[in-house]
A = this chain, B = another copy of it.
Amino acid sequence: MTNSEENYIKEIYKLSLINSNHVTTNEIAYELSTKPPSVSDMLKKLSKKKLINYEKYKGVNLTSKGQNLAIYLTRKHRLWEFFLVNCLKYNWDEVHNIAEQLEHVKSEDLINRLDKFLGFPKIDPHGEPIPDINGVFNYLDSKSLDNLGINNIGKVVGVKTDDTDFLKYLDKINISIGSKLKIIDINKFDQSFEIEIKNQVRNISFDVAKNILILC
């Protein structure tokens, strides 16, 4: 397994959660900042390794072997992120890129020891569940903020992306995991949300709202 193959598998996994298991070449290319011909090449290779189901022109999804691998890579990524925030005192917006490197270190034993050292954490710094040694994990019963209505109250339990700019923005407007907030109003024109958080009223765009996970 090369790093590149692993990155493709992780990305296909991520996209298939959004697109109900049907992932296209162009999507993968866009997300990995590569070009469609590179993706086509890689899909052939992953298909030959039985990690994906692939028919030319028909899109792609993971086999169960591919899915297990994706979950294992996700486990590694999130455990390293947990380590970076909790041990090395990184902020949650700084860890994704380093974890992208650390996740490719090859040693199952290393990850299981790291897991133990960290106290078998269940949730990463962005509120995402960390698969255990058997690949088992549970999502909280949360919704993204854009699904809430006026006067709804909830608690932030996670984010859907760990993009640095997005997380820095949340820091700036004082939203973090655990924050309680209330929907004051929804702007009919641009779907932006007026929310109350820590006794301050703020406006956030629909795009931002979509990426915040709330438990009511």
| A residues neighboring B (CB under 8 Å) | 84, 87-90, 98, 101-102, 105-107, 110, 113-114, 117
Contact = CB atoms under 8 A, between A and B. Distances in A.
Copies of this chain, complex-wide, total: 2
Contacts of A87: 117
B117 A106 contact: no
Nearest to A80: B105
Contacts of A113: 88-90
Contact of A102 (B84, B88, B105, B117): B105
Given A84-B110, A90-B113, A101-B105, 13 more contacts: A87-B117, A88-B110, A88-B113, A88-B114, A88-B117, A89-B113, A98-B105, A98-B107, A98-B110, A101-B106, A102-B102, A102-B105, A105-B105
